[in-house]
Amino acid sequence: MAVRASLGCFPSDPTLHASCGMPWGVAVTPFSAADERGSPPATGDEGHLLPRCQSCFAYFSLLCPLDRWSWTCAVCGGENDMPADAAARYARDGAHDPPEMRSAFVDLLLQGEEGEAGAAAPTPVYVAAIDLSCSEEFLELVKSALQAALEALSPGSLFGLLTFSSKIGLYDVQGPIPIVKNVFIPPDSDGALPIDLEDIMPLCSFLAPIDSCKDRITEALETIKPMSSWDVAANAAEGQDHVLHHTRGFGVALDVLVNYLGSEYGNSFELARIFAFLSGPPNYGAGQLDTSEEQNAGKAGDADHILLQEQTSFYKNLATSAVQAGVCVDLFAITNEYTGLTSLKALSVESGGSLFLYSSTDESTLPQDIYKMLSHPYAFGCVMRLRTSSQFKIADSYGHFFPDPQYMHVQHINCCDSFATYSYDFEFEKDSQFSRKSRPPILQIAFKYTVLVHNGDTSDAPSSGSRSKYSLERRLRVRTIQYNTTANIWDLYDFVDPDVVLTILVHQVILSSLSDVLETRLWLEDWLVAVIAQYNKAYKNVTSGGGTGMYDIDVNFSHCSQLQPLSRFVFAVLLSPLLQVNSERINPDYVTYLQCLFSALEPASLRQAIWPTLISYSSPDVEAEVHQSLSRTVFTSERPIFLLDAYKDLLVYYSPTASSEIPFPPRDCLLRSTIDRLKQERKITPKLMFIHGGRNDTTEFETYLVEDQALDGSRLPGSTGFSSFLDEVASKVAEHGI
């Protein structure tokens, strides 16, 4: 569990916090294997014995003062009796101390809840829902992706195959040949079908064990064809409308599938994960969307700085049903037409899934992405709660979770991998502050989750018992952190984490832009103006010059290295598709995709995505330097090779003057091994491009040289874009006074 704070030292009072201008909060990656310093948790198997505070329900930790028969809660300061069995545990000698007496970061088995988790089958379930109103290329890509998924899935998993268009197809692959049973979706369906899926095909027939049925699943995939002219003729013969071969009854298909997997008698499985593949907008039955140009123009008619809004609450309600059923939905859209992801995103985000967008089948990394997603460890059935000491509280929380309808700041996460990050913004309680006499600020994050555990080698067991190789473990991870405070603004600045500041800002930008993009741009610029003004006031930069002219103002944070990236971060966010006003060049679905991607990234990865890293190489085996600036000055550099890492894109640029003896593209060298490492470490597969300045179009590379661009996205000569922006900021600081 990695926890990074935007302010390493907490402000002592609300006035100091307001004067520094920095967001105050943390970014939490709960399922990461270690903390932010690389230290793993102390582990144990007695989580059910961990004492809890009777006042605030926080957990006992190493930071709690302990007496023989009582302990004091580190979070709220409440006094708690110590039961005799707990007192005996904590009276052990140091060599046999329980985990919570050895570390403030523990990961414990909840033995009392194993039976509860075991009520559901200890078998993960995966279902592919495939759009048949598609092209041959789309279907071939999806088949390749599912073949990769089958290789990544754990032995003993169950797999189901469903197709949808104007009808829903269920596949039974457990017999000698695959069988498909179809049911038509009524055009006026409200989400229900004339017959339950269970009556069409029992769930036990639909879900096939991977171990014994992998080959037959592959055979079934090969039989799937897109709706063709033959289907149109067949529909016409049956009296169906001829346009049905273009229909996608996606909403109905997902609704009945969620109900199918989570029966009315309770969850059948601890985790069910749906891979939904879309080639275009849902346009049939419940949940259909209007993606016509007229509709889009109408939505944005009054103000071109208003993002397209969701058209229906159908998918948000469906996400609620999915969470209750323990179903996670991963949405893969492979299309270059507007699909309405603004309305669809709630289904994946709130159910704990991911949203992917690929503009074409030719350059899609779908097979690699789905393999990565399933190969990395993940937890399911997660519940997270962050508690604070009494002087401050959570103001906002951000991330892909489903808020508990009853308890504040309790978040449900159906599926959580080791990359998923959630952010919190803090504020002081009314009339509160941290004084020398008060207790120091405390955070405690509790993360309860379930994992599938391999029980050992049972290869000699009959195949019918393969699922017994696995069992469910319910675990509790608790991290308790004590922070220092300061009444000195210079200490606040020196302990700023710019990556976490960027993370909280991006969350706020995404949330605000849903209402008004232009207002969000103005707010973000004003924030930077205020921060620079407060910084200059703190360091008294203008007093020695005898005036408050703009040239006396330090816009580069020269006295504080921790603040120096902030101006570039803000400039890059203003240039990003997140905040483009009335741009016909950007697909609204791409903006939605970036919102979902950025809101789940941990701080270091988000920084890469917003402000790419540019590294020059003297040769393929010799790294020269990391460049802070992203401008066209690279074209006049003596370095022959540059690697630009933009998280979802990796670009290798060779100068036109690079020696012909340097291999292009690079092979068996430091540069190539760096590229391979970055691709391996990343949650998604970055698009890799090799560009030779003397032979290839350099537009893709120049797109990331953001310092040469004006805020409207147009390219400018030299580095006037970013420098002009700083001049404008300095002018505003001088105009409003310091």
Which tokens belong to 92? 């052990």
Residue 73 has pLDDT above 90, yes or no: yes
Which tokens belong to 218? 């592959």
Residue 111 has pLDDT above 70, yes or no: yes
**Which pLDDT value is given to residue 118?**
45
User: Would you place residue 88 in the very low, low, confident or very high pLDDT band (cuts 50, 70, 90)?
Assistant: confident
The C-alpha atoms of residue 241 and residue 256 are separated, in whole angstroms, by 23
**Which pLDDT value is given to residue 68?**
81
In order of 85, 314, 342, 346, 359, the CA distances from 593 in angstroms are 52, 19, 9, 12, 11
**pLDDT tens digits for range 332-348:** 999 988 899 999 999 99
**pLDDT tens digits for range 570-617:** 999 999 999 986 666 688 899 999 999 999 999 999 999 999 999 999
Which is more confident, 605 or 82? 605
Quick one: residue 298, left, alpha or beta (phi over 0 = left, psi -120 to 50 = alpha)?
A: alpha
Which is more confident, 436 or 505? 505
Number of C-beta neighbours around residue 557 at 10 A: 20
The C-alpha atoms of residue 346 and residue 287 are separated, in whole angstroms, by 13
**Which pLDDT value is given to residue 358?**
94
Dump strand ranges (E) for 327-377: 327-334, 355-358
Q: What is the largest CA-CA distance in the chain?
A: 89
Quick one: residue 272, left, alpha or beta (phi over 0 = left, psi -120 to 50 = alpha)?
A: beta
The pLDDT mean for the chain works out to 86
Which tokens belong to 737? 């006074």
Mention every residue, 6+ apart, whose C-beta is less than 8 A from residue 205.
172, 174
Point out the least confidently predicted range of 426-435, 579-588, 720-729. Answer: 579-588
pTM of the model: 0.90
Q: How far apart are the first and last CA of the chain?
A: 41
Proportion of the chain above pLDDT 90, given as a percent = 57
The C-alpha atoms of residue 567 and residue 189 are separated, in whole angstroms, by 52
**Which pLDDT value is given to residue 609?**
96
Residue 385 has pLDDT above 90, yes or no: yes
Mean pLDDT of 125-151: 94
Residue 300 has pLDDT above 50, yes or no: no
Mean pLDDT of 319-334: 91
The C-alpha atoms of residue 562 and residue 568 are separated, in whole angstroms, by 13
Residue 187 has pLDDT above 50, yes or no: yes
The C-alpha atoms of residue 610 and residue 597 are separated, in whole angstroms, by 12
Number of C-beta neighbours around residue 597 at 10 A: 20
Point out the least confidently predicted range of 22-31, 94-103, 536-545, 588-597. Answer: 536-545
**Which pLDDT value is given to residue 86?**
82
Mean pLDDT of 493-501: 96
Which tokens belong to 66? 């302990």
DSSP character at residue 185: P
Point out the least confidently predicted range of 96-105, 300-309, 630-639. Answer: 300-309
DSSP character at residue 111: G
User: Would you place residue 466 in the very low, low, confident or very high pLDDT band (cuts 50, 70, 90)?
Assistant: very low
Number of C-beta neighbours around residue 592 at 10 A: 24
Mean pLDDT of 610-626: 93
Mean pLDDT of 371-385: 92
**Which pLDDT value is given to residue 241?**
47
User: Would you place residue 206 in the very low, low, confident or very high pLDDT band (cuts 50, 70, 90)?
Assistant: very high
DSSP string, 12-67: SSHHHHHHH----EEEEETT-SS-TTSPPPEEES-GGG--B-TTT-PBP-TTS-B-
The C-alpha atoms of residue 678 and residue 676 are separated, in whole angstroms, by 6
**pLDDT tens digits for range 243-280:** 455 789 999 999 999 999 886 444 557 778 999 999 99
The C-alpha atoms of residue 4 and residue 333 are separated, in whole angstroms, by 33
Task: Please check whether residue 382 is in contact with residue 323, taking contact to mean a CB–CB distance below 8 angstroms.
Answer: no
User: Would you place residue 383 in the very low, low, confident or very high pLDDT band (cuts 50, 70, 90)?
Assistant: very high
Mean pLDDT of 407-429: 93
**Which pLDDT value is given to residue 543?**
45
Residue 180 has pLDDT above 90, yes or no: yes
**Which pLDDT value is given to residue 541?**
63
The C-alpha atoms of residue 374 and residue 157 are separated, in whole angstroms, by 12
**Which pLDDT value is given to residue 176?**
87
Mean pLDDT of 462-486: 78
**Which pLDDT value is given to residue 738?**
58
Which tokens belong to 342? 């603004």
Write down the residue that tokens 């273009």 correspond to. 246
Proportion of the chain above pLDDT 70, given as a percent = 86
The C-alpha atoms of residue 507 and residue 56 are separated, in whole angstroms, by 29
Mean pLDDT of 370-378: 91
**Which pLDDT value is given to residue 286?**
87
The C-alpha atoms of residue 6 and residue 4 are separated, in whole angstroms, by 7
**pLDDT tens digits for range 679-707:** 999 989 999 999 998 888 999 999 999 98
Which is more confident, 468 or 492? 492
Q: Which amino acid type is present at position 82?
A: M
Mean pLDDT of 456-463: 50
Mention every residue, 6+ apart, whose C-beta is less than 8 A from residue 204.
none
Mean pLDDT of 42-69: 91
What's the gap between Cα 5 and its chain centre?
A: 18
Residue 426 has pLDDT above 90, yes or no: yes
The C-alpha atoms of residue 684 and residue 677 are separated, in whole angstroms, by 13
The C-alpha atoms of residue 485 and residue 497 are separated, in whole angstroms, by 15
Mean pLDDT of 196-207: 90
Point out the least confidently predicted range of 85-89, 374-378, 625-629, 661-665. Answer: 85-89
Residue 454 has pLDDT above 80, yes or no: no
* Phi/psi of residue 487, nearest 5 degrees: -105, 10
Candidates 24, 25, 18; CA nearest to 537 is 18
Which is more confident, 338 or 715? 338
Write down the residue that tokens 């020059």 correspond to. 616
**Which pLDDT value is given to residue 493?**
94
Mean pLDDT of 648-670: 90
Number of C-beta neighbours around residue 265 at 10 A: 6
Peptide bond into 665 cis (omega under 30): yes
